[in-house]
Structure 1
Amino acid sequence: MDEKKIEEELKKIWDETPISHTDDVKEASWDDFHFKAFPPKKQKQKFGVWRYVAAAAVLIFVLIGTGIYFNRGPVVQNIELASNVIENTTSKIKTVFLPDSSKVELSPNSKIRYANNFETNRKIEIEGEGYFKVKKDKNHPFQVFCDETTTTVLGTSFTVKSNEQSEVSVSLYEGSVQMSIENQDKKWILVPGETFTYGKNNTALVSEFNRFTDFDNAKLIDVSAYIKENYGYKMTLPQEYCNQKITVRINKKEDLKIIVQLISEMYNLNFEINEELKEVTFQ
């Protein structure tokens, strides 16, 4: 392996720093290391490959000291996320807006952790269940760690759920995600309508699920009942519209406001959403 190739490989390893390190710190430390390991070539080097072996040994020693662990599969970080811990101790879904404007609907008895530099290093751990709607950022992939699994996305919506038997399931509603498992090289790419399940006997399974709710010539009041059950909002309609018929397909994780706007446009109605009372009023 030539010097340029070795330098590139060491740079890749160096970039896998713990979540608590900023990009500036990372770059400064690399510049210092690079100058010492790869000095300007004033004359032909006599040390050969052993200089690079020694440099790699120093690099690995430094990284182990910071808490990074290496394996043959994907790099898994010993992430220190205690700086921001959000737990849902209520009996209702808790909506959390992350520093990058991504949204998490955190289920009861669930918890998430992330570090202060989340906007540039979007890594988050979850215990329990959460529905993620991720803001797109091609320069900063969004990663969700749950037990041994890692979900990597750029911008999409999905649920992550773990149970007491350490079984993890990821269901994709929009976009695409890449799934990986600690100490395994294989990766799985999900498309909308697929669920990735990992846990029992350390096996991974991809299966399909129905991500839509269909209303076929149903009464508008039936949609009202659906919104109440799934979003917790009471929907009030003018009496003459309650038995109006509607045919529509709704993404099960669609934003409430989009559903309300759709009904408003279909029936030429105005609406108001009261967040405090959790009511949607059409008129």
Structure 2
Amino acid sequence: MSQKNHKTENLGNWKPFVEQLHKEWEKVGNEHVVENHELKEKIWKGIDRKIFSPRRYILRAGWAVAAALVGVMFYWGYKVSERHVVGNLAYMEHSYAEGWMYMLPDSSTVWLEPDSKIRISSEFLNKREVWLTGSSVFEVKKRVNSDFKVYINTACIEVKGTVFSINQPTPDTSIIALYEGAIDFIGKNQSLISMTPSQRLVYDVNTGSTHVENFSGNIQWVDGNYRFTDIRIDNLMDFIRKKYRVEMELGQGVNHGLLLTGTIRNDESVEAVIEKICFSSQLTYKKNDSYYLLMK
């Protein structure tokens, strides 16, 4: 199971508050789950409760309250912030060793993966531009007559007010998945590709080539989680392959049309996800490096 947690930035030093939350978290033991074979979100949440303490959800509410009270918090123990000047414009660059939920000055949210970093201008509210290195999910607040742009490698994403993820598994590849709203992708060859929800774009940084494919519309991003409803297990496995960059197969006799409902936390490990799938589907799995085989 993943032990890393997304942090939230707000104005003021709330480090003592956060440290106390972590202490309380450590005290909580795991709770047992009542077994239920219905493949709905109730059992998925029950499985999640078996693996993770339910107090985690109470703590999340505490994070939200803290964010509402103080706006933007700088929790320096978990990040390195540097100031840069390019031309006459100052930039703030934030590097993160752990996952982090970062709130931009316009209230847009960036859910950064570990070892990712963003850079924004000191004039961000006048020109909403973000430079991303690594991977993250963006929840962009729509503003009238105000574009939002994200720059990655040799490409630019023009946002219309939306939810989308950027995954850069290698320096040569970028994967953009759109969950809500609309975005325009502009690569090094300057061609514009308009994307609609449940589309995934794979971009080759070196050649500038792109490939657009559809993914299951049953997967949505809600409050820091991937939520899926009645999704086929083979479609869910396709999502897991892309998110975690692993190989997965279903063994003989496994029903590819099996439907699952539940939630995957953005910081959740692939092993924890597979364990919950197997528990709710009465399956087992074998692992060989980054290869997983799900079996009866």
Give the TM-score normalised by structure 1. 0.47
Larger Rg: 1
Give the TM-score normalised by structure 2. 0.45
Greater relative CO (CA pairs within 8 A, separation 6+): 2
Higher strand share: 2
